[in-house]
Every structure is written in structure tokens, then in C-alpha cells.
């Protein structure tokens, strides 16, 4: 009886969390939905767990929630995984309705290029300039400012809202983990990688972010070691391949 009550409470919670986009008529034992942007489905509700890519418009069934993730299943309920909340919609080809994904259209994907940092990459986003990064796993855009950096770009979230978006990309906790992103400056799109950990100096004092984070391109190196970071280089390639698959 207790298990049945817990299951009913979980279903009710899912329905409440999805009220802005998921109709009450669908809030039964499971909620039929679609992946709104290509992302990863994780074995556990953590981006550190094993995962596989799942493409946009894939039909899933929301069966629960855990933190910033929805628990989703296939039609038969034989496969269960976790997807970030910003990547689920009740409408095929739709969006989650989250403000962090309103700019998640990806018609520009064919324009994405790789750039060597020490040849042409350094000049894409000039010091003091602003641009956008798009996280390929969550579909989240945020605006950034480049404050400096010689071996790679040292950047900051432009506003409090952008810091909030960066935290969502990080899965709720800033870390040194590498994330595959696309840098957009004007009509230029470059495959890049970032971490999300605030460190060092800052020039924006009212963005809720205490420091800067790193943005890497092909061939860029770390300030301290003077060596290339293999995780960042892997994610740069992953970002490029995502755009051109």
C-alpha cells in the first residue's frame, strides 16, 4: 500500500512540474513526450554516469523525476534512463518552454568549424568582447564576455541569468568537468569546450559568478601546465561532429 501511495505522489509531482507544457490529460501513470533537442540519456540522474546520445523528436515516456532530470522510458517500459528537464517537450519538434532554451534552434549547424587557437581561434572573440555559447547536451544558450587569456579564452557569464544557465549546464554544481559547446560570435560558429568552475579574476561584479571559466579550441593549452587537455580536445571534436552528423 505504501509503495502504491509513493508511486501516486511521484506521478502527481511530475504532472505539477510539467504543468507549463504537459497537459493534465496526459498525467496518468506515464507522460508521453518527445526529446526537444539532441542530448544524452543517462543511466543515473547525473551527467557523470554512463550515457548514450538520443536524437531530437525521439518519443519517450516520463515516469518520474530526480533533481534536474526526468526519468524516461521507452514505449514498453523495458528501458529506463534520465534526461535533463530542459530537453523534453509534449510536442514533437517543440521546446520545453524553458527560458534557457528559447534560442535552441540549430539551423546554423552547417556553419560550425574547428579553429586552431594559436592560428585564428584567438581572434574570434576579442578581449572585452561578447558572444554566446551553446551547450550541445542541454540545448542551453548563454551570453559570455571574454576577459582575457593567452593559451585559451578566460570568459565570464554576462549576467545573473547567464550564470544560472551555466549552472544548469553543470548539472547543478560547478566543476572542472569538460562540456562540448559551440561558440557563436556574429555569424561565426566554432566547436569549443568549457569547464564551469569559477576561478581567478573577474571583470563583471554583479553576475553572481565569482571568477572566470575556461573556453578551449583546437590546440589550446592550460595556463598552468602549458599542456593540452585531452578531455577538452575530445569534446571539441564531439561538438564539431554533432554539428555535422
CA 166, CA 157: separation in Å to the nearest integer? Answer: 8
Q: What is the pLDDT of residue 49?
A: 75
Mean pLDDT of the chain: 83
CA 162, CA 214: separation in Å to the nearest integer? Answer: 15
Please check the confidence at residue 3 and state whether its pLDDT lies above 60: no
Of residues 118 and 99, the one with the higher pLDDT is 118
Angle among Cα 60, 56, 178 to the nearest 5 degrees reads 105
% the chain with pLDDT above 70: 82
**pLDDT, mean of residues 15-37:** 56
CA 51, CA 69: separation in Å to the nearest integer? Answer: 13
pLDDT digits (tens, 9 = 90+) for 212-232: 999 999 999 998 787 899 999
Rounded to two decimals, the pTM is 0.61
The confidence band for 87, taking pLDDT boundaries of 50, 70 and 90, is confident
**Closest to 177 (Cα-Cα) out of 54, 48, 53, 67:** 48
pLDDT digits (tens, 9 = 90+) for 180-210: 999 999 999 999 999 999 999 999 999 999 9
Please check the confidence at residue 170 and state whether its pLDDT lies above 50: yes
The confidence band for 110, taking pLDDT boundaries of 50, 70 and 90, is very high
**Closest to 193 (Cα-Cα) out of 177, 173, 179, 175:** 179
| Domains along the sequence of the chain with CATH | 2-97 (2.30.30.40), 109-244 (no CATH)
The confidence band for 29, taking pLDDT boundaries of 50, 70 and 90, is low
Amino acid at each position: 500500500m505504501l509503495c502504491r501511495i509513493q508511486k501516486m505522489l511521484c506521478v502527481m509531482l511530475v504532472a505539477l512540474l510539467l504543468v507549463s507544457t504537459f497537459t493534465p490529460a496526459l498525467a496518468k501513470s506515464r507522460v508521453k513526450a518527445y526529446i526537444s533537442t539532441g542530448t544524452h540519456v543517462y543511466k543515473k540522474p547525473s551527467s557523470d554516469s554512463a550515457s548514450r546520445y538520443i536524437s531530437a523528436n525521439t518519443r519517450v515516456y516520463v515516469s518520474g523525476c530526480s533533481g534536474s532530470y526526468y526519468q524516461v522510458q521507452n514505449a514498453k517500459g523495458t528501458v529506463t534512463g534520465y534526461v535533463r528537464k530542459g530537453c523534453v517537450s509534449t510536442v514533437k519538434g517543440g521546446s520545453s518552454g524553458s527560458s534557457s532554451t528559447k534560442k535552441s534552434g540549430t539551423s546554423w549547424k552547417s556553419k560550425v568549424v574547428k579553429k586552431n587557437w594559436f592560428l585564428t581561434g584567438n581572434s574570434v572573440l576579442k578581449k572585452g568582447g561578447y558572444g554566446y555559447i551553446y551547450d550541445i547536451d542541454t540545448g542551453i544558450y548563454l551570453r559570455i564576455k571574454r576577459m582575457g587569456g593567452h593559451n585559451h579564452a578566460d570568459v565570464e557569464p554576462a549576467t545573473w541569468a547567464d550564470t544560472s544557465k551555466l549552472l544548469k549546464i553543470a548539472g547543478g554544481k560547478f566543476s572542472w568537468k569538460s562540456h562540448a559547446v559551440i561558440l557563436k560570435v556574429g555569424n561565426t560558429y566554432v566547436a569549443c569546450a568549457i569547464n564551469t568552475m569559477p576561478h581567478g579574476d573577474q571583470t563583471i561584479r554583479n553576475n553572481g559568478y565569482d571568477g572566470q571559466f575556461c573556453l578551449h579550441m583546437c590546440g589550446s593549452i592550460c595556463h598552468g601546465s602549458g599542456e593540452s587537455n585531452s578531455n577538452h580536445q575530445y569534446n571539441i571534436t564531439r561538438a564539431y561532429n554533432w554539428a555535422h552528423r
